[in-house]
Structure 1
Amino acid sequence: MIQYALKCAEGHTFDSWFQSASAYDKLQSAGHVACVVCGSTTVEKALMAPRVSHGDVDAPRSRPLTETPRHPAEQALAALKEHVEKNSDYVGGNFAQEARKMHLGEAPERSIWGEAKVEEAKALVEDGIPIAPLPFTPTRKSN
């Protein structure tokens, strides 16, 4: 895993983790790296200082979304995550199937969230089933 400091065309800065440097390059060239504040896909790597561990427990480190957010964008994401987790059912990898069942009237309508493969999500959109990506991972999968 690699963490990059990123900056969008609007000047918003944020960091994100990627499987590898080549994974970042692939996602960025496909337009899948977006600003967490404004959604712009015009994003580039920002200058960042290397992290070198000195064994200092008070050294600054990356904060997961579960810690108290400092930036207004982090606060908004934390509030959205809390709202979604409290007011909808987590269906995990069955998201596409559950959304389709509700759309067809085979299951009662309710708010759900989970994971779907890109092909599954595209098929839902093409079939007129309203879905939206969420800008966070489930608490159950967070480290």
Structure 2
Amino acid sequence: MIKYALTCDHDHAFEGWFGSSADYDDQQARGLLDCPVCGSKAVRKQIMAPAVRGTKKTGGEPPAAKMQAMMMEAAGRIRRHVEENFDDVGDAFAREARAIHEGKAEDRGIYGQASPQEVRELLEEGVSVAPLPPEPPKKNDVH
């Protein structure tokens, strides 16, 4: 597996995992890659430094695994904060976000669901939106 840092033409940064460099090239050529934030198909690789591991045994959990665990914990905290303090507006997210932006609804934190097209339209209108971090896996669900 190979991990690429990717970005779309709206400068949304994300990562993708591929079986090989050729798999990335094939998916890109067939138009299968899109931005998870706005749905843009204009996706490209970012400049990356390769992760090369030395031959010395350091003992304990590898630094990458520790970093991943820290990031998952931080994402879980963000998600919990949003769920506990923001209003869940469900599939009315785009309509409610637009109403708040236009001053037609109470200014408050909201979350919900929106299609990639709705997200693109909100961003084009200057409405700030961001994806909610996914729920962290349960400890007994991790292999």
TM-score, scaled to structure 2: 0.50
Larger radius of gyration: 2
SS in 1 for 2:103: coil
Change (3 A) 1:118 1:9: closer
**RMSD in angstroms over aligned alpha carbons?**
3.4
In 2: Cα distance, 1:78 partner to 1:89 partner? 18
- Relative to its length, the structure with more helix (as a share) is 2
Change (3 A) 1:104 1:76: same
Gaps of 5+ in 2: 6-15, 18-26, 38-43, 46-67, 136-143
TM-score, scaled to structure 1: 0.50
| Structure of higher RCO (CA pairs closer than 8 Å, 6+ residues apart) | 2
**Is the contact made by 2:122 and 2:128 (CA closer than 8 Å) also made in structure 1?**
yes
In 2: Cα distance, 1:99 partner to 1:77 partner? 22
Aligned residues: 89
Superposed displacement of residue 33, structure 1 = 6.7
Question: What residue in structure 2 maps to residue 30 of structure 1?
Answer: 33
In structure 2, what residue type is equivalent to 1:95?
A: F
In 1: Cα distance, 2:113 partner to 2:119 partner? 9
Gaps of 5+ in 1: 1-5, 16-24, 35-40, 43-69, 138-143
Which of 3, 7, 15 aligns to 1:8? It is 3
In 1: Cα distance, 2:80 partner to 2:132 partner? 12
